[in-house]
Amino acid sequence: MITAGMVKELRESTGAGMMDCKKALTETNGDMDKAVDFLREKGLAAAAKKAGRVAAEGLVESYIHGGGRIGVLLEINCETDFVAKTDGFKALARDIAMQIAAANPSYVSRSEVPASVVEHEREVLRAQALNEGKPANIVEKMIEGRVEKYYKEVCLLEQVFIKDTDKTVTQLINESISKIGENINIRRFTRYQLGEGIEKKSNDFAAEVMAAVTK
């Protein structure tokens, strides 16, 4: 039996509407975790419908960590200036800027990764697999799996969200699209790290950022 208390709990944890929460619980026989997944999937569907709409408004978010040792500039777009000024959109921009500071992605999405970079990565992975003594007939399958892992490390949209490791950055954005009702795009970002490229004793600034934002 689906109770009002269950609906209230799901609504508070997801921000979804009351009727959507009731339907999710009904469809999943009252399983709270599955109901959350059901709503996320619905959010993804709603986001997909908005994906083709022009998002030319938004803001440039800045984030400085560690007394100026790491800095991020991020351009994130939405459809209207009104939404760009909302607390929800600003909070999303802040979270993504902090993600970039902590996880140090190289690209927004896999479509930005040059083919030459991917091919080089494949060659390195192929050599690694062969050096590990893996049979040649399964090396190619292993390479594909490792390339997918590579994308998840270097592409912002495919990274695990540092403040909630149950979702990716793409899922975070799609949930925001569902709530806000506008298309949202990450256009570009730049990450600066003090002394980057200068040979010196290294400090794990990224680990510091992650520790700070996950407290």
Output phi, psi for 189, to 5 deg: -155, 160
CB atoms within 10 A of CB 2: 17
Question: What are 59's two structure tokens?
Answer: 């803001």
Token pair recorded at residue 205: 């600034």
Q: How far apart are CA 20 and CA 105, in angstroms?
A: 35
List of residues 6+ apart from 52 with CB closer than 8 A: 183
Residue 118, classed as helix, strand or coil, is helix
Report pLDDT for 132: 83
Q: How many residues does the chain have?
A: 215
Question: In which residue are the tokens 């351009």 written?
Answer: 75
CA distances from 157 to 96, 166, 201 (A): 10, 14, 31
Closest among 32, 7, 33, 31 to 21, alpha carbons compared: 7
- d(CA 110, CA 206) in angstroms, rounded, equals 22
Q: What is the pLDDT of residue 41?
A: 76
Q: What is the pLDDT at residue 181?
A: 84
pLDDT at 203: 57
- So what's the pLDDT on residue 62? 96
Low-confidence ranges of the chain (pLDDT < 50): none
Q: How far is CA 78 from CA 53, 88, 159, 169, 173, in A?
A: 9, 12, 21, 16, 11
